[in-house]
Amino acid sequence: MAGHEILLGVCGGVAAYKSADLVSQLVKQAHCVSVVMTRSAGEFIGPATFEALTNRPVYRDLFSPREHFLGEHIGLARRADLFLIAPATANVIGKLANGIADDLLTTLALAATCPVLVAPAMNVEMWEKPAVQRNIQQLEADGIQIIPPGEGWLSCGVTGKGRMAEPAELLKVIEQLVG
Ligand SMILES: Cc1cc2nc3c(=O)[nH]c(=O)nc-3n(C[C@H](O)[C@H](O)[C@H](O)COP(=O)(O)O)c2cc1C
């Protein structure tokens, strides 16, 4: 199994650093990876890391396309075999559950025809909020696969549920789907 087009959406959470490891592992498996970052994601990890790992531009802007001038959301969506959003913030999860498309990443989620997977990452208080749980249920009802967060040490200094699934687990799920 090799050589699929993986679209990776990276949102603004501390776990964004783990996505660099995931990209590295995907590229080692001969997959082609396109990384889309939200504006907030840029506060946590720089595009240069993903550009070097993928040998592609990082896509961040709806209106200043790097590659697809018919609309980056159209071109990237057409090319993708699978769209994984990892880490997915509470904010993006809320937007996806409500069909909001106010940046490239969320517009792509609506334009995508491939399987869409979401790997949430947030602190335990956010994860347990009724609004977040409601949005997760809505995404599942809409056919989006949730890769649930694990329990353990959180960057806010407490132990609880909210850790993004580890890159090895994400890789396994991706391989099961595109393999
Ligand atoms: C240090 C720090 C860490 C954060 N970590 C998370 C997180 O893990 N998960 C989350 O949902 N939001 C987290 N946030 C809040 C998001 O960055 C914020 O909601 C932002 O608007 C998300 O933008 P995006 O969803 O467009 O990427 C964090 C904020 C800060 C300042």
Q: What is the pLDDT of residues 27-76, one digit of tens each?
A: 999 999 999 999 999 999 999 999 999 999 999 999 999 999 999 999 99
Spacing, Cα 52 to ligand 1 middle (Å): 24
- For residue 41, the ligand 1 atom closest to its alpha carbon is 27
Phi, psi of 83 (to 5 degrees): -120, 115
Max Cα–Cα distance, the chain, nearest Å: 46
Please determine, for residue 1, whether its predicted confidence score (pLDDT) is greater than 70.
Answer: no
Domain ranges, residue 31: 5-178
Q: Is 135 in the pocket of ligand 1 (CB under 6 A)?
A: no
- Judge if the beta carbon of residue 107 lies within 6 A of ligand 1: no
Task: Show the CA angle centred on residue 68, arms to residues 19 and 89, nearest 5°.
Answer: 30
Which residue numbers are catalytic? 156
Q: Whose CA is nearest to atom 18 of ligand 1?
A: 12
Structural domain count of the chain: 1
Per the listing, tokens 């790097």 go with 66
Angle at Cα 81 formed by Cα 172 and Cα 88, nearest 5°?
A: 60
* pTM, rounded to two decimals: 0.97
Distance 40 CA to ligand 1 centre (A): 7
Q: What is the CATH number of the domain that holds 147?
A: 3.40.50.1950
- The verdict on the CB of residue 12 being under 6 Å from ligand 1 is yes
89 lines ligand 1 (CB under 6 A): yes
Report pLDDT digits (tens) over 124-164: 999 999 999 999 999 999 999 999 999 887 787 878 889 99
